[in-house]
Amino acid sequence: MMYGLKDIEQFFFDAMRIGYAANPKETTLIDLPGSKVIIIQDRGFKMVDLWFVGGNDKSAGSTMIFADNRLVWKMDYRGQYQKEEIDFLKSALRAEYNKDYVQSAAPEFFRGCRGPLLFLGSNGLAYTNNVKQGSTFYQFEGREEIVSRTAGLVVGHHDYEGILLQ
């Protein structure tokens, strides 16, 4: 069965609302020691969010969407966040994922499948998301950062990119 582009995009945002930022149960793939994975299936799609955290709190991962056992969309991310920044990162992501629109419906609202352009925390942190101009759900890249507003320093970041493979 061939799925429409909007179906894939809508599934992504629906899955992310209950995915990583919502703190679901994470598992490990036995053949990939140190991995963390969240798998969500619905409407003929499967989303696999797979990542690793290495030394120095560096991390890398992929979010993949499969339809009929074929990879149709993929996002990769890599960077570094300290453990104490993760809850704030998840709050920023939830702020974007919980909106009621499909992001590419209006390109000026596309946020690179990550968080809002700016999210301020009461803890002195700020999340910023710099999406490359012209990005859409079908091909995008950017960089998100968490900044200490008191120190004026970047304390964590991820570079990300994604593409529709269908």
pLDDT the model gives residue 106: 57
**DSSP letter at 25?**
-
The encoded tokens of residue 50 equal 């797979």
Query: What pTM was estimated for this model as a whole?
Result: 0.91
How confident is the model over 146-165, as a mean pLDDT? 96
Task: Report the percent of the chain where pLDDT is more than 70.
Answer: 93
Q: What are the φ and ψ backbone dihedral angles of 11, each rounded to 5 degrees?
A: -60, -45
Q: What is the pLDDT of residues 56-109, one digit of tens each?
A: 999 999 999 999 999 999 999 999 999 999 999 999 999 998 886 555 455 667
pLDDT the model gives residue 5: 85
Asked whether the predicted pLDDT for residue 149 surpasses 70, the reply is yes
Q: Among the listed ranges 46-60, 98-112, 136-150, which one has the minimum average pLDDT value? A: 98-112
Q: CB-based burial of residue 22 (10 Å sphere; 0-12 exposed, 13-18 middle, 19+ buried)?
A: middle
Question: Rounded to an integer, what distance in angstroms lies between the CA atom of residue 58 and that of residue 104?
Answer: 30
Answer with the residue of higher pLDDT: 102 or 8: 8
Helix boundaries (H) for 4-85? 5-17
- Which residues, 6 or more positions from 98, have their beta carbon under 8 angstroms from its beta carbon? 17
